[in-house]
Amino acid sequence: MSKTGLTYYQAETDRFQDIKIKRLKKRFGCQGYAVYNYVQNEIYRVEGCFIRFTDDQAFDCAEYWNIDEEEVMDIINFCADIELFDAVIWKTRGILTSREIQRRYTEICRRAKKRMFIPDEIALIEDERIETAQPEPLPLFADEAVETVSGTPSYGQPELAVPQNSAELRGIPRKPAENPDKEKKNKINPPSIPPQGGGKLEEEVHKLRSRLEGTPPLSPTPPDDGIRRNPTGILERLQQLRIPPKEIEQLLLLCRYGEIGHPIWALLEDIRKSKGRITMPGRFLLARLKAS
């Protein structure tokens, strides 16, 4: 799995002319800009476009600049007040991000041909993200992880694609004979989710249900009630965690087919942050959702 954060990020040469930066410097002096720049760097380095700023991050920042943690938090809150960070997301979720940070993140990912991921709960540039969140699969891995419309990565089984004939690369027509190994591999390792997220939820739920014994299929179509949902994205995230099909079906019903803003999205983020400490994610999600 590739690194989530960025190795580098861009900085505009006119940033010191920004009225927000001027206000930050006037209020907190050089320490204000130092803290803001430190946090911005951590955002790009760790997650790419956001960071869950906890007491640990505040301690690290305070220790690095040899200032008090309280002053760090005062600077962070002021940055949110003057819209260097999104104030609503910061005050409701404890996450630091902004429209400009997300815009710059997607631009860097586009240029570097890097997969991008912006959680739906904090996305501030949805239109731009959707436009660039469907890169073509890499030629060496027909089912390698790629971004979907929802911004969530989909992972499949690595599958070597058949390279072009060397004679064809030199401009000589290739013989029409088919490569039997490619067809055989495709039958052994069919992609669990279409790389561009174009598969219908009906087909995926039907496939899951067919693995169970003698039970009638679920109604696969989300209700048409005007509520924003991301059914394909939630299905991909659950399959990525290798959750058993039966548990996936229960979770699809509990989260109302990936309703935007549903607690399951935050729980999935907790599982990712645990870095493998949650060994049974399906049961973890079911227990939390049924208790809520």
Last residue of a domain, one of 84, 114, 133: 133
Is 104 among the domain residues? yes
Q: Could you tell me if 3 and 104 lie in one domain?
A: yes
Is 251 among the domain residues? yes
CB 21 within 8 A of CB 33: yes
The span from the CA of 260 to the CA of 179, in Å, is 44
Is 174 among the domain residues? no
The span from the CA of 207 to the CA of 80, in Å, is 46
Q: Could you tell me if 29 and 114 lie in one domain?
A: yes
Last residue of a domain, one of 81, 116, 133: 133
Q: Is 154 helix (H, G, I), strand (E, B) or coil?
A: strand
Handedness of CA 183, 188, 194, 196 (dihedral sign): negative
Q: What are the tokens at 287?
A: 């227990």
Question: What digits encode the pLDDT tens for the residues 230-258?
Answer: 888 888 888 888 888 888 888 888 888 88
Mean pLDDT, consecutive 10-residue stretches, the chain (292 aa), reads 74 89 95 96 94 94 95 96 95 95 92 89 70 42 45 45 44 51 50 44 58 47 76 85 87 86 88 84 87 80
Is 184 among the domain residues? no
Contacts of 156 (CB under 8 A, 6+ apart): 143, 144, 145, 189, 191, 192, 193, 195
pLDDT value of residue 224: 73
pLDDT value of residue 152: 47
Tokens 């979770």 -> residue: 251
Is 183 among the domain residues? no
> For the chain, how big is the Rg over CA atoms in Å?
23
Please report the DSSP string for 98-118 in residue order: -HHHHHHHHHHHHHHT-----
Last residue of a domain, one of 133, 160, 187: 133
Q: In which domain, by residue range, is 110 found?
A: 1-133
CB 99 within 8 A of CB 125: yes
Is 188 among the domain residues? no
Say how many domains are in the chain.
2
Backbone angles phi, psi at 278, to 5 degrees: -90, 100
- According to DSSP H, which parts of 94-230 are helical? 99-112, 126-132, 166-169, 180-188, 201-210
Taking CB atoms within 8 Å and a gap of at least 24, the contacts of 152-155 are 152/117, 152/230, 152/233, 152/236, 152/237, 153/115, 153/117, 153/236, 153/240, 154/193, 154/195, 154/197, 154/236, 154/239, 154/240, 155/1, 155/240
> Facing residues of 146 across strands?
154
Is 27 among the domain residues? yes
Is 276 among the domain residues? yes
pLDDT value of residue 3: 65
